[in-house]
Amino acid sequence: MGAQVESWDAESADRAVAVLKAVADPSRYRLLWALSGAELPVSALAELLGAHVAATSQHLARLRAAGLVTSRREGTRIYYRAAGPRVRGLLEEASLVAQASSAAESPAADAATPEAAPATQERPARAPRTVGVRRAALGK
């Protein structure tokens, strides 16, 4: 993400963890993603999530406490937006890390792609199942 973190003292670590915890909810992640591209009122955000306005407001309060969103009032409506361009960068990095870890956990899925394995390659035979043998050994 460009900037180097110079100090990992306890206070800096606590702040970083608070930000990660605030994003560590699918609804809040989706809210941040929407707010990184536009300024929206709570009602539109609630509709986007398919949630009640009160629940959406609670999520927004958590994001505001972590410094990830800002708000402004216009009449009776409150509009929210991402606190800056680094919020979008955080979401994009999290997405890239998730994709990379998903690919690393399932190398068989990569081998099934046409680029990774030629179509003429045969699949290895599966090992025989030994469930029946185990049951017999257990006296079942």
Burial (Cβ within 10 Å: 0-12, 13-18, ≥19) of residue 127: exposed
Greater confidence (109 vs 57) lies with 57
Q: How far apart (Å, rounded) are the C-alpha atoms in residues 74 and 9?
A: 40
Instruction: Note the pTM of the prediction, 2 decimals.
Output: 0.66
Q: What is the pLDDT of residue 7?
A: 60
Q: What is the pLDDT of residue 4?
A: 55
pLDDT above 90 coverage of the chain, percent: 56
User: Among 3.40.50.720, 3.40.309.10, 2.40.110.10, 1.10.10.10, what is the CATH number of 10-86?
Assistant: 1.10.10.10
Give yes or no for a contact between 106 and 69, defined as CB atoms under 8 angstroms apart: no
Mean pLDDT, rounded, for 16-39: 94
